[in-house]
A = this chain, B = another copy of it.
Amino acid sequence: MIIILKPIATKKDADEIIAQIEGLGLKPLYMPGVERTVLGAIGDERVLAGLHLESHPLVERITPILTPYKMVSRDIHPENTVVDIGNVPVGGKPFVVIAGPCAVETREQMIATALAVKEAGAHCLRGGAFKPRSSPYSFQGLGVKGLRILKEAGQKTGLSVTTEVVEAGDVPIVEPYADALQVGARNMQNFRLLTKLGQCRKPVILKRGMAATVEDLLLAAEYIVAEGNPNVILCERGIRTFETATRNTLDLNAIPFLKQKSHLPVIVDPSHGTGIRDYVAPMAKAAAACGADGLLIEVHINPKEALSDGQQSLYPEQFSRLMKELKPFVKAAGRELTT
């Protein structure tokens, strides 16, 4: 860790901090400069957190040398992690497509959509039973009834299923119905939920928050892994910026960044990432091209009647065409798309 002192700090102030660093077993460094004195601490700087040097009135700023996350870092775990959603491996050579409606609305809608995405070649099925909605006047999901329908749709099609869990207390309720549990963007920093998911064995699809940096996303994943569950899949789904032409700004730069810094699989949700049906297919291809391990795509049997997010849901025939068009992109990226 590098500690830059304020110009008014004296040699005595520096010596006090140096003594604290030594007290924690790290090797201190003293670098007096013309305008500022700089201190260094060599060793596992994470133990320095206890000193709270950032709060010291004579410290101008501190610069960590190491990343704040450890277990999700590629530094200490160079090989890719492969996470199995049911019998579908994510993070290896196969490119994975998870598709389905935003929300489970009725048994008919869910089964019909499941059959359609299966037919088109999807590998897993998504469908929300608990829906966090910005307005209290919007459809909030079918709850456990929705979970039952989702599971039935999975069984009918042989597809693994994923669904969102919105609160720590719901984990035991949702877990039996799903092969993977999704954490929505608004819950990425719901640390109670992350901790609870760390204590179960089901894979977790962790969506990036709208105001979360990629480093925040890795720290959120660290919560889950540190608690004991190594099966985390990161998901880029767009961030909030000044641009309003699209619902979110899909940050595909995050893909090479996350693949370089972490060993966890990374998928992309172009449906929320754009919010506009026409842009889902081009951005799905772009995600495959820049190295994503898979996609999470909203498909609805009849988007005009969808109770949520209809404007970003693909029609089944659009999804089917996308699956065909994706193949050469996935292959060019050195991966395989089996449909």
Contacts and interface: CB of A to CB of B under 8 A. Distances in A.
A42 B49 contact: no
A79 interface: no
Among A49, A166, A290, chain B packs the most CB atoms within 10 A around the CB of A290
Nearest to A270: B253
Contacts of A40: 29, 31, 38, 40
A138 interface: yes
Contacts of A191: 132-133, 136, 140, 166
Nearest to A38: B65
B285 A289 contact: yes
Interface in A288-318: 288-291, 303-307, 310-311, 313
Nearest to A313: B55
Contacts of A249: 239, 241, 249, 251, 253
A31 B254 CA distance: 31
A182 to B, nearest CB: 16
A256 interface: yes
Nearest to A331: B328
Count class of interface residues, chain A? 35 or more
Interface string A147-178: 00000000000000000001111000000000
A4 B52 CA distance: 22
A257 B247 CA distance: 12
A174 to B, nearest CB: 13
Interface in A210-259: 210-211, 213-216, 219-220, 222-223, 226-227, 239-246, 249-257
A305 B57 CA distance: 11
A33 B242 CA distance: 30
Given A282-B289, A311-B55, A242 B242 contact: yes
Given A33-B42, A55-B311, A242-B242, 12 more contacts: A2-B2, A29-B29, A32-B42, A34-B43, A55-B306, A57-B277, A136-B226, A167-B169, A190-B190, A255-B282, A256-B283, A285-B290
18 contacts: A4-B65, A7-B75, A34-B44, A52-B304, A55-B313, A63-B63, A68-B135, A68-B137, A132-B189, A136-B222, A166-B192, A167-B167, A190-B190, A243-B253, A243-B254, A245-B257, A260-B278, A289-B329
Which 8 A-B residue pairs are closest in the complex by CB-CB distance? A55-B310, A211-B211, A328-B332, A289-B289, A286-B286, A282-B290, A286-B290, A285-B289
